[in-house]
Chains A and B, each alone.
Chain A
Amino acid sequence: MTSPATPAVEFRAVTRHFGSVRAVDGVDLTIAEGAFFAMLGPSGSGKTTCLRLISGFEKPTSGQIRIFGQDVSDVPPNRRNVNTVFQDYALFPHMSVRDNVAYGLMVKGVDRKTRLDRAEEMLSLVKLPGYGDRKPGQLSGGQRQRVALARALVNEPRVLLLDEPLGALDLKLREAMQDELKALQKRLGITFVFVTHDQHEALSMADSLAVFSDGKIAQIGTPEEVYARPQSRFVADFVGSSNVLPPDLTRALGGPARWSSLRPEQVRIADQGQGRGIVTSIRYLGAGSRVALRIGEAEVAALVPAGQTVPEQGAEVAIAFDPAALHVMEG
């Protein structure tokens, strides 16, 4: 039995090289049990490799991976009580939906009746009751995604891995599935680890996330922490449409001579403020307008809520913000 304090997944100085490429480069990571954990990063940043290290499809070049405290260095994927929802779903094309879902139970030797009953239960859980007889080829993208989910969950994994699970769905379906996944995770209490390159998805779904860059973790924390207090220019750039200010501008705006970030929604257009600039472009966003200003060499964006006056292009205006909103970064 594991104590509640045991983390679900632990990486200790894990490295994975492919030839001369360091796909994962000295990652330390702890994922708490019951967490909805996101691995966020651009493609090639090492997030998917990390996921495959947990499932066992990749082996670390060095370092150690623990799942619920147990070293899994010698454990092949089929014996890890961890299941994956693949990016392209990887449903078995020659099997019915029911057999797909029951597959994990079949290979474990569960008798036919029990496993088919469990499969039907799982299909109900993912809101596809009665779809058991179809072939994966007859389903829509969203339905396949649910089957993939049911097929993984039927094994009662202790950790569920999701590799860009919503990437292939259209926007509307994606938003609906985000809510459903979140609700499902709450209900089942299983640890979810999901990989995405979509920062909105990561911020809205995860209760904890790691931002990857070049095989390393650039920042780890809650969505609020990562969004509001990015530790580096990379995180600020990648996680949100934040203003990244060079040292001299930071100083001109009242901060130290370091790189800093400033969220557009915290910047007001005013008659007087910390700095002045020329309006270079205005983009209407529905709930407001994004006004870009040129201050010296740098560009700063401000989000003007709907209903407030938007300055004209070419006008010289001042910007004002709460000094605490200017977040100084480490690198």
Chain B
Amino acid sequence: MHSDRASWGLKLGAGLGLAFLHLPILLIFLYAFTTEEKSYQFPPPGLTLKWFGVAWERADIWPPLWLSLQVAAIATVLAMILGTLVAAAMAQSRFFGRDQISLLILLPIALPGVITGMALRSAFSVMDIPFSVWTIILGHATFCIVIVYNNAVARFRRLSGGILEASSDLGANGFQTFRHVLLPNLGSALLAGGMLAFALSFDEVIVTTFTAGQQSTLPIWMLQELVRPRQRPVTNVVAIVVFAVTFLPILAAYYLTRDGDQTAGAGK
């Protein structure tokens, strides 16, 4: 009875659970092709490709898309630099305040997004900082640091400390060790962290609504469409784009880190 075979009930439960996680997303794809634009009628009365063309022509989609890409790119670069620095410091030695620092890094994602958003909003209000692209980036970089950090620190842990010592033993100074040994071994983890950070930033909406002011990132545009729908299938086309832009980096991150240090999940 307790042998290494799962019971049918368990298999069914696990299978249904996975299906529950995945099937809803498929509907997004289906509805992008429907001819019905006023309601969410199922099954779609007819199928058409025209919404992709319509979406392409819609002038209100492009600025949010560019803004989102811009914000995600800059926030990712900032998070990669800051996250790697902390990871290097944490991997390097034990020091006073180490636990406090790891808590500080975790806090922006451990607390609900509305708090991070509201906190930043309060700070901008207290300091009379006007909303801009940079206020959005500020928020995004803050919660992306931990994503990069988690990936980098896991790789540091796995990296035998020996090879860094071996490098200096063989005559390399710190910079040579960084370039020839540390970076090649850390690179894929950093890239994975960066990709996850990009995906997270690209589709972030909770914090962004507090830090964006009048500007619209693509998720904010989508949120407005969800609350007050206009051409519903166009929203689906954009949703597919958002899905693709986040899905591909996630998949890439998985393949970059799959040999052992899969910690990305605890991150988001």
Q: Which residues of A contact B (CB under 8 A)?
A: 55-57, 76-79, 82-84, 86, 88-94, 103-104, 106-108, 151-152, 155
Contacts of A76 in B (CB 8 A): 168
Interface segment, one of B76-84, B130-138, B180-188, B225-233: B180-188
Chain A residues with CB under 8 Å of B172's CB are 78, 103, 107
Point out residues on B near A: beta carbons under 8 Å: 160, 162-163, 165-173, 176, 180-181, 184-185
Q: 17 interchain pairs (CB within 8 A)?
A: A55-B169, A76-B168, A77-B168, A78-B168, A78-B169, A82-B169, A84-B165, A84-B166, A84-B169, A92-B163, A92-B166, A103-B167, A104-B171, A107-B172, A107-B173, A108-B171, A152-B170
The distance in angstroms between the C-alpha atoms of A57 and B165, with both chains bound, is 7
- Expressed in whole angstroms, the minimum distance between the Cβ of B97 and any Cβ of chain A is 17
Q: List the A residue with the shortest CB-CB distance to B184.
A: A94
The complex places the Cα of A90 from the Cα of B181 at a distance, in Å, of: 11
CA distance A313 to B92 in the complex (A): 59
Query: Are the CB atoms of A93 and B163 closer together than 8 Å?
Result: yes
B184 touches A90 (CB 8 A): no
Please state if A90 and B162 are interface contacts (CB–CB under 8 Å): yes
Main secondary structure of the interface of B (DSSP, over half): helix
Within the complex, the shortest CB–CB distance from B75 to chain A, in Å, comes to 29
Cβ-defined partner of A83 (8 Å) among B170, B184, B185: B170
| Complex: A35 Cα to B184 Cα, angstroms | 38
Distance from A104 Cβ to chain B, minimum over Cβ atoms (Å)? 4
How far is A55 from B165 in the complex, measured between Cα atoms in Å? 10
Chain A residues lying within 8 Å of B169, measured Cβ to Cβ, are 55, 57, 77-78, 82-84, 152
Q: Could you tell me the distance in whole angstroms from the C-beta of B142 to the nearest C-beta in chain A?
A: 33
* Neighbouring B residues of A83 by C-beta, 8 Å: 169-170
CA distance A107 to B167 in the complex (A): 9
A78 to B173, CA, bound (A): 6
Q: A55-B169, A78-B168, A103-B170 are in contact. Are A90 and B163 (CB under 8 A)?
A: yes
User: In chain B, what residue has the closest Cβ to A103?
Assistant: B170
On whether the beta carbons of B162 and A86 are closer than 8 Å, the reply is yes
CA distance A175 to B165 in the complex (A): 28
CB distance from A210 to the nearest CB of B (A): 22
| Most chain B beta-carbon neighbours within 10 Å: one of A88, A90, A155 | A90
B163 / chain A contacts, CB cutoff of 8 Å: 90-93
Known: A77-B169, A88-B162. 11 other contacts (CB 8 A): A76-B168, A78-B171, A79-B171, A83-B169, A83-B170, A84-B166, A90-B162, A90-B165, A92-B167, A107-B170, A107-B172
> 8 closest A-B pairs (Cβ-Cβ)?
A90-B162, A104-B170, A90-B166, A107-B172, A77-B168, A94-B184, A78-B168, A107-B176
- Kindly provide the distance from the CB of B260 to the nearest chain A CB, expressed in whole angstroms: 13
Task: Give the residues in chain A near B162, CB-CB below 8 Å.
Answer: 86, 88-90
State the CA gap A93–B171 with chains docked (Å).
18
Complex: A107 Cα to B166 Cα, angstroms: 12
Q: CA separation between A103 and B181, bound complex, in Å?
A: 10
Expressed in whole angstroms, the minimum distance between the Cβ of A185 and any Cβ of chain B is 19
CA distance A82 to B166 in the complex (A): 12
Assembled-state Cα–Cα distance A84/B167 (Å): 10
A76 to B175, CA, bound (A): 14
The distance in angstroms between the C-alpha atoms of A91 and B159, with both chains bound, is 11
Q: Which residues of B contact A56 (CB under 8 A)?
A: 168
Q: What are the residues of chain A within 8 A of B167 when measuring CB–CB?
A: 92, 103, 107
Q: Considering the chains assembled together, what is the distance between the CA atoms of A152 and B165 in angstroms? A: 13
Write the chain A residue with the least CB distance to B183.
Answer: A94
A57 to B173, CA, bound (A): 13
**Distance (whole angstroms) from the CB of A193 to the closest CB of chain B:** 14
For A78, A82, A88, the residue with the greatest tally of chain B CB atoms inside 10 Å of its CB is A78
User: In the docked arrangement, what's the CA distance between A103 and B169, Å?
Assistant: 11
A168 to chain B, nearest CB (A): 13
Interfacial chain B residues near A93, Cβ < 8 Å: 163, 185
A249 to B172 Cα, complex, angstroms: 58
